[in-house]
Structure 1
Amino acid sequence: MSKGKGKDRGSGYRRPRALSPLREHLRDTFWFAPTAAMVLILLLWTGASELDAALVRLLQEHRNFAEIDELIRIVNDIKPVVSTVSSAMMTFIGVVFSISLVAVQMASGQFTPRVVRIFVRSRITKLTFAVFLATFTLSLLVLTSFESEAEARRVTTVPFVQSVLTLFMVALSLFLFIAYVNSTLRLMRVGHVVDRITGECLRVLDRMPRGAFDEAVVGPEIGRVGYAGQAGVLRDVNIARLVRAARGQGVLLRLLPRIGDFVVPGTPLLSVHGSEEGREPARGALRYTVMVGVERTFHQDLAFGLRQLCDIALRALSRAINDPTTAVLCLDRIVQLLTVLANRPLGAVGHPDGKGEIRLVQDVPDWADLVDLAFAEIRICAVGSPQVTRRIMAGFDDLLRIAPEERRQPLLRQRELLVRSVTLAVPEAERAFALEPDRQGIG
């Protein structure tokens, strides 16, 4: 087996962290945060009950019956508030989140169904839902602590601390409701959704290993390993486990499907390269090395951000919506992402072991793939919209000025195809206008 060192990566190489299946499951579900909040509020209520009982015992030991009477008066004044909260909070929760579901449905129809994951994984949404349910649960528990009227000397507990805790939770609920409404309204605006997608995509780029890869490192193929799990989208690869498995057998592994590919049982997953003495890693060593789910994620998926931006642009260019300004907004971000990628090594990525020897090769989209993903579909749908064709032409000009010589061909190809399409579909009197570069489309 030919041995290659990861010297071109330098000491700055950072191996991508594996995605935690449990953490991803909890982030994609709505039950965990409210359940944890209700358990926590039960513990807080128990502690507050003990504090109330201890406070009454302390006052009775010192025969401060006047103070006990004052506490009872204060608590009785608060009781109607607690009762109102308990009766109104659940109705409030139902109305608020019914409206939220309508907002999510509208956003998925206007943008793309892929943006629903932004709402589902929103921390402020889960926190608000959890605090609302916790406040409702606490109000019910506090109501059970109120005693019927009795003489101060016979009182065993006064839910003073519990009532104060309830008022605090009500205030927190109101504050989170304001923050939640503001966050939801922001996520319904296309500019903020596109900015959110772009930000996540840029974070993926920052985590991607840098450095060119020498294909000469890959030796002859001596075997293949098939996928044996449930069918689904390849979401994440545990780089560290695969590197250890390859080092243990003295081979090099190559991941055949890309992140985002749909795999079924039997799909070739890994090719094994090395000398005749090398062996395929045991099945046990390859357990939990790949994570498969029902939809793509941003964690290691370089192209997922561009895919979402293109989906939003295509939906905006459809006859049902006819919103070329949104398509231009998406093209602004697409050009931004390609500008970041223009001078970065793309294609196959080699992951070294602790000694710097490449043990795992992972194929990622190259420059031509990303350019085609970014412009091909939008170009086809944008022929009849001069606002969009002008923005695409301006994007090509900007990228051609930035991209190195060896990466100009895919851009020139897409530009030539756009010119041909406009020439065939647009009247001659309007062609020059439709192909004039303009960063604002029609500014």
Structure 2
Amino acid sequence: MPRFDRGLDRRPRAHRLGGETHAATMQLRLTRFAERLSTSYWVVPALCVAAAIGLSQLAQALDARLTQHEHDWYLFQGGPEGARSVLSAVASSMLTFAGLVFSVTILVLQQASNQFSPRILRTFLRDRKSQMALGIFTGTFVYALLGLRTVRGTSENLDIESHVPSLSVWLAVVLALLCVGAFIFYIHHVAQSIRAVVILSRIHDETCETMERMYPEGVGLDAAETCQEGAPRGAPSLVIPHDGSSGVLLTVDEDQLMTHARRAGVTLAVVPMVGDFVPHGSALFEVWGEAGSLDVKAVLGAVGLGRERTLQQDTAFGFRQLIDVAERALSPGINDPSTAVQAIDQLHDLLRRLVLRRFPSTHRLDDQGALRLVCPRPDFDDYVRLSLDEIREYGEESIQVARRLRFLLEDLLRVAPDFRRGELERQRSLLDATVTRVFEDARVAAEARRAGPQGHGPH
């Protein structure tokens, strides 16, 4: 079985996709760059600093042109020393505010990582409200510093023409008052953001957005494997390894892969699934057919790898985060089944959205009906197993978890089409077996088998 050598390129130029491939590659890079920016905590503060610099320049330009009368609303009457005192006080207090915000943010990240899961830190890093609060403080600090350099003269030295930027000082006071309000809002926001229900709801909402992108079609039978008879047979003619740094498969541009496979007249299969770890040298693509005209460099450019999973195309990663929170809550050190039930609530909603969603086929055909692309992705049964297996195992001794899981399964079975019931019924039988094994008292076991939307209480 031949393997691709990056040092050899025998492809004729007529088969290269040129500008089209370059545009697709640039679009993929821009998408990755945007994803990195969305989780970068410095972007919004940097923009606020840039805005503060612009505001300072504008205020200084207006100060140079505005006439100053005794009763002007923007007039500062404290003289040069007073202006310096005000601007210095604003600058020093804003630096203290910024340091406090940074410290509180680090403590929140540590608390969330320890109590919930390290994988939810991306959610906090994407929090625009916290970024904006830090940006307001740092921007006001920069504004005050820039204003200080425009104050000239003293009351004692009359040889130097004094200049007090009245409008700039007035705006510094306004920004300081704005920062006080922003600080109060930040404290409230941080206190709310570390609540379990807020974290779980945020993960749920982000997962729903990814789900809408990856599974946009409505009710209907899965396009499952209508072309299984045409699936690749035998050993592939070419295996394309990953020759870069190891990482997680984040994105796959199926349209570009389909275009390359169709033009080369081959069948192309992506070996790992989105979210899988790809070590250096492992198989990334398998090719069936005459692969001499396949643009391997362009094919490799149609996938993106990174250090950790994201929700860009990986719907299962959202499920993974919710499951991690539930498992951490069920650990002996925390023992908080109510938080686990809140995580199951979000999983229940996601599965209910998926149970009637049409899953696209992993096999894509061209216009002539020939198989060109095989791209693996999880199906509904995979999501059910991912959502329930580990929680059932870690929460086997909790009646609350058992009742909530049963309510989830019975609700899904009421709405699931026939071709989706198999895994749900299997999970219900596994839950029955777990309850029978763990709760030896028949009365306790009977209580654990009662479905409950809250896992406890009168229902």
Normalising by structure 2, we get a TM-score of 0.82
Cα displacement (A) at 1:322: 0.6
Q: Distance in 1 between matches of 2:201 and 2:176?
A: 33
Structure 2 residue 112 is the aligned partner of structure 1 residue 100? no
In structure 2, the residue matched to 1:434 is 448
Partner of residue 254 from structure 1, selected from 269, 280, 292:
269
Cα 1:72–1:206 shift into 2, 3 Å: closer
Cα offsets for 1:338-370 (capped at 9, x unmatched)? 111112233744567899987543211112211
More displaced 10-residue stretch of structure 1: 361-370 or 77-86: 77-86
* Aligned partner of residue 304 in structure 2, secondary structure: strand
Superposed, 1:103-252 pairs within 5 Å as 103-149=108-154, 155=161, 157-209=163-215, 210=217, 212-213=223-224, 214-216=226-228, 218-220=231-233, 221-252=236-267
Count, aligned residues: 418
Structure 2 residue 42 is the aligned partner of structure 1 residue 37? no
Partner of residue 329 from structure 1, selected from 313, 324, 342:
342
Superposed, 1:353-372 pairs within 5 Å as 359-372=372-385
Cα offsets for 1:57-106 (capped at 9, x unmatched)? xx4xxxx88689x9452666655432211122212222232122112211
In structure 2, the residue matched to 1:89 is 94
Cα offsets for 1:302-358 (capped at 9, x unmatched)? 211111111111111111111111111111111111111112233744567899987
Q: Distance in 2 between matches of 1:67 and 1:381?
A: 72
Q: Distance in 1 between matches of 2:63 and 2:40?
A: 36
In structure 2, the residue matched to 1:291 is 304
Cα 1:344–1:67 shift into 2, 3 Å: closer
Cα displacement (A) at 1:279: 4.1
> Which amino acid is 1:208 matched to?
M
Q: Distance in 2 between matches of 1:297 and 1:22?
A: 13
* Aligned partner of residue 363 in structure 1, secondary structure: coil
Cα 1:116–1:65 shift into 2, 3 Å: closer
* Aligned partner of residue 186 in structure 2, secondary structure: helix
Contact kept, 8 Å, 1:124 with 1:179, in 2: the verdict is: no
Cα displacement (A) at 1:205: 1.2
In structure 1, the residue matched to 2:356 is 343
> Which amino acid is 1:361 matched to?
V
Q: Distance in 2 between matches of 1:331 and 1:51?
A: 58
Cα displacement (A) at 1:156: 6.8
Q: Distance in 1 between matches of 2:151 and 2:350?
A: 60
In structure 2, the residue matched to 1:269 is 284
Cα displacement (A) at 1:199: 0.8
* Aligned partner of residue 205 in structure 2, secondary structure: helix
Cα offsets for 1:3-40 (capped at 9, x unmatched)? xxxxxxxxxxxxxx857222222223333333343233
Q: Distance in 1 between matches of 2:182 and 2:42?
A: 19
Cα 1:285–1:81 shift into 2, 3 Å: same
Structure 2 unmatched runs, 5+: 1-26
Contact kept, 8 Å, 1:65 with 1:152, in 2: the verdict is: no
Cα 1:72–1:309 shift into 2, 3 Å: closer
Cα offsets for 1:208-251 (capped at 9, x unmatched)? 15461533454554433221221011111233432332233233
In structure 2, the residue matched to 1:392 is 405
Cα displacement (A) at 1:261: 0.3
Contact kept, 8 Å, 1:346 with 1:365, in 2: the verdict is: no
Contact kept, 8 Å, 2:140 with 2:172, in 1: the verdict is: yes
Structure 2 residue 389 is the aligned partner of structure 1 residue 383? no
* Aligned partner of residue 21 in structure 1, secondary structure: helix
In structure 2, the residue matched to 1:317 is 330
Q: Distance in 2 between matches of 1:175 and 1:193?
A: 24
* Aligned partner of residue 456 in structure 2, secondary structure: coil
> Moved runs in structure 1, 4+ residues, more than 4 A?
64-68, 74-79, 150-157, 216-221, 350-359
RMSD between aligned alpha carbons? 3.0
Contact kept, 8 Å, 2:87 with 2:148, in 1: the verdict is: yes
Contact kept, 8 Å, 1:272 with 1:280, in 2: the verdict is: no
Normalising by structure 1, we get a TM-score of 0.85
Cα offsets for 1:91-148 (capped at 9, x unmatched)? 2222232122112211211111111111111111222212211111111121221122
More displaced 10-residue stretch of structure 1: 83-92 or 32-41: 32-41
* Aligned partner of residue 253 in structure 1, secondary structure: strand
